[in-house]
Chain A
């Protein structure tokens, strides 16, 4: 089997999202495996851990729920390694989780086959990731190989570029919005790094609002469970064409907007009842948290997405999505700007909103919302598209990139591309 032929069957994509980690080899087809980007540090000194023979320091992946202890322990021992797509340089516990997740992913698919000589690993990182994250990740791959060869060669690409590659669109603006943050990145063959705008919010912000809405509807006890809140958001949340009109419609036609959400495997049924109009708030908040209606929630203590600085990157909290897109594109050359507006790709789990047909004209999809917001700001000729299966588009781009880059194209730090040979 030639080098290229071997690579074709052993490309492995790893998409390090702030909330979810997507991974899997090329042979998985179109859908990767997904686990939460977190790790649980087991108290190995505890009697139970010793009785049960727990030898691992960090537990990641699908096993995590089996090791969880009390809520108090949870806060101390559960580590979410990324914040806005970035792992702090000296945060040893966070890097330990990243290492364990990476090993978990590769070992889950590494065949016990004598022909196996390691994967061609393609990692997708946030566009704002500093260079040390690239260095650390290569180090992790290299370190794992000391025990067993899992990675033959590795490369790392920015997540928005992976989306553009998956869509085969060399000139575009990628809006990648995951759980924790949103990256707006104009691309013209390569990402235009000095035009990147980052927002300090993603799907998690809409979760926070959903939590408040659940409390208002009398489900305060359930609102503490993050996974339940997320599920409710996904089932209940609607993006309004125009928030004020949508609320008016919902209040005049309450039965059309009201639904009951049954939580699988439990007896819990959630019904917002008269508060069903608030379904539109959830969608609006993801796109425009500065709408005045949200002030009452902030006043009652809901955390406001704040402007923060991480390393050299400024993350805006309250800037609306269309404003952020325009700001990013306007940092590029005037000649390029129309091309960047003509292909805006929306990617990431935060754009997977549905618009029920019975609410046509009132509830809309993410691409329609952005287009309307851009028109309101004077941008008429934009084309906005939600990529197919937005949650997986970065992983798919990693796979396409790994397939396309020849095995003999070596990694170069000055261009940040090519294969870093590791075995």
Chain B
């Protein structure tokens, strides 16, 4: 997937209770084949940046831009080895936000106010924040070991951003084929 400025995926990694050193987390990512770069980690031409670290050192935020679903899953698999859980956020803007809202069966009427919707995808609770004023949408869900092993990251990625026939409506698939 080429870089799409309309989308920024963030992974918030929470360390296990009592742990407050990120070194072990960073090492675990390296052990999975990611190389340290100036701003974060790099592999196969993809860079995932370390965006923020909490003052207490028990949480780190990674910014993955608009990476593909497989790369995202691979990265989450790496971090989850040392994390209590990870929250995956999809920040999307503009027409992409509208497409996603419609794909998930939600409206994004500009006259409406901001709202939060909760749905379940593959049994995982998903929080959707919809900001019609800004034409923005944030979808987020939490994963632990169990969800990562069930391939939830790539499955939800496909449901949110598309990219595979799985989970797409018939109309989506037909339109995709025509395009």
Contacts and interface: CB of A to CB of B under 8 A. Distances in A.
Contacts of B8: 29-30
17 contacts: A8-B59, A27-B89, A27-B138, A28-B91, A28-B131, A28-B136, A29-B138, A31-B93, A107-B113, A108-B113, A108-B114, A108-B131, A109-B134, A110-B113, A111-B129, A406-B54, A406-B55
Which of B89, B116, B134, B136: most chain A Cβ within 10 A? B134
Nearest to B9: A29
Contacts, number: 66
A246 B53 CA distance: 46
Contacts of B138: 27-29
Interface string A374-397: 000000000000000000000000
A307 to B, nearest CB: 40
A405 interface: yes
A33 interface: yes
B52 interface: yes
B136 A404 contact: no
B173 interface: no
Nearest to A114: B116
B55 A400 contact: no
A388 to B, nearest CB: 11
Given A8-B12, A29-B8, A111 B133 contact: no
B128 to A, nearest CB: 10
A24 interface: yes
B93 A108 contact: no
B61 interface: yes
Interface size class of A (residues with CB under 8 A): 20 to 34
A30 B65 CA distance: 10
Interface string B125-140: 0000101011010101
Given A108-B114, A111-B114, A29 B93 contact: yes
A400 B51 CA distance: 9
Given A27-B129, A111-B129, A33 B56 contact: no
B138 to A, nearest CB: 4
Contacts of A110: 113-114
Given A28-B91, A29-B93, A405 B133 contact: no
A405 B114 contact: no
Interface in B131-168: 131, 133-134, 136, 138, 140
A33 B92 CA distance: 14
Contacts of B55: 404-406
B52 A29 contact: no
A344 B61 CA distance: 26
Given A400-B52, A403-B54, A111 B91 contact: no
Contacts of B133: 33, 108-109
Contacts of B136: 27-29
Interface of B: 8, 12, 51-56, 59, 61, 89, 91-93, 113-116, 129, 131, 133-134, 136, 138, 140
Contact of B54 (A24, A109, A115, A404): A404
Given A27-B91, A27-B129, A108-B134, A113 B116 contact: yes
Nearest to A32: B134
B52 A403 contact: yes
B54 A111 contact: no
A4 interface: yes
Which of A24, A29, A113, A404: most chain B Cβ within 10 A? A29
A112 interface: yes
B111 to A, nearest CB: 13
A9 B140 CA distance: 10
A29 B115 contact: no
B114 A109 contact: yes
Nearest to A165: B52
Interface string A347-386: 0000000000000000000000000000000000000000
A29 B54 contact: no
Nearest to A7: B54
A4 B52 CA distance: 14
Pairs A-B, 8 closest by C-beta atoms = A29-B91, A27-B138, A113-B116, A29-B8, A111-B116, A108-B133, A111-B114, A33-B134
Contacts of A30: 8, 91
Interface string A19-60: 000001001111101000000000000000000000000000
A261 B131 CA distance: 33
A236 B53 CA distance: 41
B54 A113 contact: no
Interface in A88-130: 107-113, 115-116
Contacts of A113: 115-116
A4 B57 CA distance: 12
B61 A403 contact: yes
Contacts of A400: 51-52
Contacts of A112: 113-115
Contacts of B92: 29
A149 B8 CA distance: 29
A109 B133 CA distance: 8
Given A29-B138, A108-B114, 11 more contacts: A4-B54, A27-B136, A28-B93, A29-B8, A29-B136, A107-B113, A112-B115, A115-B116, A403-B54, A403-B61, A404-B53
